[in-house]
Amino acid sequence: MRRIVAGATHLILLDAKRAFVRQWGAMKTLIIGLDGGTWDLFGPLCDLDVTPNLAALRERSAWSSLRSTQPPFTAPAWASFVTGVNPGKHGVLNFLQTEGSPAALLRGQGTPVNSTHIRAPLLWEYFDAHGRPTGALNVPLSYPLRPVKGFAISGMLTPPQARDWAHPPDLIRSLHDYLIDLDYGRPGQPLTLDDLPKPLDMLDDIIQMTERRGVHALRLMQERAWDAFMVVFTGTDRISHHFWHYLAPEYSDLAPRLDTRISAKLGDYFDLLDQLLGALVKNAGPDAHIIILSDHGFGPAARHWVHLNNWLLELDLLRLRMGKAGWMQRLKRGAPWLTDITKRILPREARQAVKQHGSLADAMDWENTLAWAMPLYNNVAGIYLHHTDHQPPGPVSPAAASKLIDFIIEQAQSLRIPSADVPLFTDIQLGWEVYHGPHATRFPDIVLTMDPDYAAVPTLGSTLITPIPPGQILRSGDHRPEGMFLAAGPAIRPGRLHHSPRLIDLAPTILHLADLPIPKSMDGRVIEAIFHARWLESHPPRPGPDLAPPEPASSLSPDEQKAIADRLRGLGYMT
């Protein structure tokens, strides 16, 4: 492994001459994405000298945590990074897109998200508008590629059968062993523990994917022209999801029972990743600016389910039909053992519904339902009012919405966790406070955040809060809002930042490092605290024109949409 990386680095560094002459007099920017990276993990790794290259880079960097999106979830986070705007402007909040009523989400309906759903200009398109070449490898949600001056390889959620995942097309010929992502699970089926490979095999897969990506990134940095180059390593996210109990101090009591072979393999992964980081930074050159970022952080996974629609049902805001499906949902709330009784007393179609856990959406009396809940991700949930302009139409008029929101918030503030006698919600936000823009009408009216030990689920349960059965806990780690940020280079003042920037602040900051104007429509702001004062005085941020939003593009084929949905199931993001 080390020989491969060292050989590729040696080959690249033999010829230090760049493949093109920079006409703009601007310094290059290398951007490295560590999906799910957090200083809660990488800080100790630096301190213990497990990642010496990252530790040395941090010593000469401005660094801090990085505030993700709400929710801290892959789809809205990467879309927000690459556009510099909030989800209400770019339109992505979920892995499923619904152009009409959000009620379709409760049915699990919608189109798997892709780059055509990002309804705002991309960072690379602003470079392109100024004739500046870029390279982007494995940025999530980048398929189908939106071609710009430079080169790109699409990332997470690229259909396996796609043939246009690299730009320009001739680039594919040199990428015969490239791995975009890992696929687990069975087509059309929710991910189960049985679908996952053995831990050592999974780590081997992640190491192989990371190594190949790093080697090709180093090669393309040398062969192709670029002013900004980005590569995203997704192995950090996959490892944190499945091996957090090996990595985090919260699980130190498990240490005597952990498999030392897995611990050693994890060490191999972080050693490889650190070598690649060092090689990428060295190859970028001493005059380059370096940005390292993550879309979100990580922490222990939830151990409890919260059935928020139980609560709305008790408030008489969510109503059920009294047909078979509605009766099914009421039986399920009564007691788990009633499920077995229904197998004997209900007709065949009802027994099939029991087997499939029933569909809350089919059981709901949509005509009279005022509000319903949907997980946004893990411990973050949205309350959707059933507005009159939804499909199917609801009873909540614009005039009644404000009072209903006030009532729900008042009730939410009084909900407590019985076992701890503490409030269930750590934060309650109005939807318009979180999301603004032309797409915000599809998003929740209220956003509720809980302690990360509690995960919202859309189904009805026997009680509001239920422990997750051990056999249904697929992973030990899950997302947190505190990602990681690091910036280094000639213009950067080293030191830990007093205030954490936002993920949406990175796009304007990267444009500013390239001496490009900042579009007025961007919600993010240049992170001025990272710069030397004299440099900032001579290079003040300047506003610039916006690019037109992209024209609606044709959707992916049904086969491609199915393949992406299967990939999301294989990653545990869809059921």
The DSSP annotation for 138-187 comes to: EETT-PSP---SEEEEE-TT--TT-S--EESGGGGGG-TT-------S-T
**What's the number of domains the chain is made of?**
2
Cα–chain-centroid distance for residue 238? 12
At 479 the three-state DSSP class reads strand
Amino acid at 538: S
pLDDT at site 23? 34
37 & 142 share domain: yes
pLDDT at site 570? 61
- Note whether 417 and 461 are within 8 A (CB): no
For the segment 82-106, the average pLDDT, to the nearest whole number, is 90
For 260, the enclosing helix (H) or strand (E) is helix 260-284
Measured CA to CA in angstroms, residue 139 lies from 79, 132, 281, 331, 508 at distances of: 10, 19, 19, 45, 18
pLDDT at site 333? 54
- Note whether 190 and 569 are within 8 A (CB): yes
For the segment 381-397, the average pLDDT, to the nearest whole number, is 93
225 & 288 share domain: yes
Measured CA to CA in angstroms, residue 490 lies from 108, 132, 288 at distances of: 49, 20, 8
Instruction: Please give the backbone phi and psi of residue 546, each rounded to the nearest 5 degrees, phi first.
Output: -85, 155
Query: Is the backbone peptide bond immediately before 347 cis, with ω within 30 degrees of 0?
Result: no
Measured CA to CA, the distance from residue 546 to residue 567 in angstroms comes to 35
Query: Is the backbone peptide bond immediately before 392 cis, with ω within 30 degrees of 0?
Result: yes
428 & 493 share domain: no
Q: Within 10 A of 398 (CB to CB), how many other CB atoms are there?
A: 9
In a domain, 24, yes or no: no
Give the pLDDT confidence of 286-341 residue by residue, as tens digits. Answer: 999 999 999 999 999 999 999 999 999 999 999 998 654 554 555 555 545 444 44
pTM: predicted TM-score of the whole model, two decimal places: 0.88
- Note whether 127 and 228 are within 8 A (CB): yes
In a domain, 80, yes or no: yes
Choose the final residue of a domain: 455, 472, 489. Answer: 472
For the segment 408-435, the average pLDDT, to the nearest whole number, is 97
Measured CA to CA, the distance from residue 277 to residue 231 in angstroms comes to 10
In a domain, 417, yes or no: yes
Question: Rg of the chain over CA atoms, in angstroms?
Answer: 24
Give the pLDDT confidence of 202-237 residue by residue, as tens digits. Answer: 999 999 999 999 999 999 999 999 999 999 999 999
132 & 261 share domain: yes
Contacts of residue 30, Cβ cutoff 8 Å, sequence gap at least 6: 228, 229, 230, 280, 281, 284, 288, 289, 290, 291
Identify the band that residue 137 occupies on the pLDDT scale cut at 50, 70 and 90: very high
- Note whether 479 and 67 are within 8 A (CB): no
- Tokens 């990332």 locate to 155
112 & 142 share domain: yes
For the segment 77-89, the average pLDDT, to the nearest whole number, is 99
Among the residue ranges 224-228, 349-353, 432-436, 567-571, the one predicted with the least confidence is 349-353
Q: Within 10 A of 224 (CB to CB), how many other CB atoms are there?
A: 17
In a domain, 328, yes or no: no
Measured CA to CA in angstroms, residue 121 lies from 163, 209, 476, 512, 546 at distances of: 24, 29, 36, 16, 8
Choose the final residue of a domain: 472, 492, 525. Answer: 472
Identify the band that residue 573 occupies on the pLDDT scale cut at 50, 70 and 90: low
416 & 443 share domain: yes
408 & 530 share domain: no
In a domain, 270, yes or no: yes
DSSP states of 9-63: HHHHHH--S-SS--SS-PPPEEEEEETT--HHHHHHHHHTTSSHHHHHHHHTEEE
> 75: domain range?
29-301+477-570
Measured CA to CA, the distance from residue 283 to residue 275 in angstroms comes to 12
433 & 485 share domain: no
For the segment 29-36, the average pLDDT, to the nearest whole number, is 99
- Find the CATH number of the domain harbouring 372: 3.30.1360.110
- Find the CATH number of the domain harbouring 68: 3.40.720.10
Contacts of residue 510, Cβ cutoff 8 Å, sequence gap at least 6: 29, 31, 123, 228, 291
In a domain, 372, yes or no: yes
Choose the final residue of a domain: 428, 450, 472. Answer: 472
Measured CA to CA in angstroms, residue 495 lies from 32, 66, 492 at distances of: 19, 15, 9
102 & 139 share domain: yes
pLDDT at site 254? 64
Amino acid at 503: L
Residue percentage of the chain with pLDDT more than 90: 70
112 & 180 share domain: yes
251 & 271 share domain: yes
The closest of 533, 10, 524 to 293, measured between CA atoms, is: 524
In a domain, 508, yes or no: yes
In a domain, 355, yes or no: no
499 & 446 share domain: no
Give the pLDDT confidence of 489-538 residue by residue, as tens digits. Answer: 999 999 999 999 999 999 999 999 999 999 999 999 999 999 999 999 99
